[in-house]
Amino acid sequence: MALIRIEGDDLVVVIEGLDKLWAFKGSLTIPLAHVRGATVDPGIAAEPKGVRAPGSHLPGVIIAGTFHQEGEKVFWDVKDRSKAVVIELSDEQYARLVLQVDDPCATVALIEGTLAGRR
């Protein structure tokens, strides 16, 4: 699972527990200027992910790490698809982040509210 918080002008994602090992990454820091938006999307875990490199994908267990699909890089950390949030990015190494969070609606509200206050 991922913890998401806003620190100054950055969106900070902290990967918790053993997910760090599966995802090959412990945290991500993205400037808010590069965050386009966030949505709750439990159905995304059923969609094709592309080529994993590096990462882990055990169907029904975990999707974690970097996946390459149609020329884009997507970072995943999802075990429970019902708690999946998609964060769309621009001008970053990843086109989007697909993350499991404790409270998807609150996470999206935090991100969208912060972005609305900056526009």
Residue 119 scores a pLDDT above 70: no
| Nearest of 57, 58, 98 to residue 81 by alpha carbon | 98
Model pTM score: 0.93
- CA-CA distance, 102 to 116, in Å (whole number)? 23
Residue 18 scores a pLDDT above 90: no
What does the pLDDT look like over 29-85, one tens digit per residue? 999 999 999 999 999 888 878 888 888 888 888 899 999 988 999 999 999 999 999
